[in-house]
Structure 1
Amino acid sequence: MEQELIKVSNPFDKPFPIFDLENGYILSYIDPVHDAKDYFTYMSHPDVSVFIPLNNLPLSPQQAETELKYWRNLFLQRKSFYWAIRYCQTGQISGTIGFNNISFMHLKAEISYDLSYFHQNKGIMTKALSKVVTFGFDELRLVRIQASAAKDNRKSQKLLIKTGFKEEGIMSKFELLNGVHTDFVLYALIK
Structure 2
Amino acid sequence: MTTHLEPNKTFPILETERLVLRQFTPADARDMLAYLSDPVVMKYYGLAPFESEQDALDEIDWYTSIFQKKTGIRWGITLKGTDQVIGSCGYLNWSTQHYRSEVGAELSKEHWNKGIMTEAFQAILQYGFDHMALVRIQGLMELENIASQKLCEKSGFIREGLLRKYEYTVGKFDDMYMYSLLKEDFSVVS
Q: Which has the larger radius of gyration?
A: 1
Letter in 1 for 2:160: E
Please give the residue correspondences for 1:81-160 in structure 2 after superposition, counting only pairs within 5 Å: 81-160=73-152
Distance 1:66 1:146 in 2: 25
Aligned with 1:170 (options 125, 140, 162)? 162
Aligned to 1:44: 37
Aligned with 1:27 (options 21, 27, 33)? 21
Letter in 1 for 2:166: F
5+ residue gaps, structure 1, are 1-12
Q: Deviations over 1:131-161 (max 9, x none)?
A: 1111111111111110111100111100000
* Residues 112 and 85 of structure 1, relative CA distance in 2, 3 Å threshold: same
TM-score of the superposed pair, with normalisation by structure 1: 0.85
Contact 1:36 1:64 in 2 (8 A): yes
5+ residue gaps, structure 2, are 1-7, 184-190
Distance 2:16 2:36 in 1: 22
Q: Deviations over 1:152-174 (max 9, x none)?
A: 01111000000011001111122
Contact 2:160 2:180 in 1 (8 A): yes
Contact 1:58 1:67 in 2 (8 A): no
Distance 2:179 2:70 in 1: 26
TM-score of the superposed pair, with normalisation by structure 2: 0.85
The number of residues matched between the two structures is: 176
CA RMSD in angstroms comes to 1.9
Distance 2:43 2:29 in 1: 19
- 1:46 Cα shift? 2.3
- 1:14 Cα shift? 7.0
Letter in 2 for 1:18: I
Q: Deviations over 1:35-89 (max 9, x none)?
A: 111111101212211112127x533210111111111232233333211111234
Distance 1:70 1:58 in 2: 14
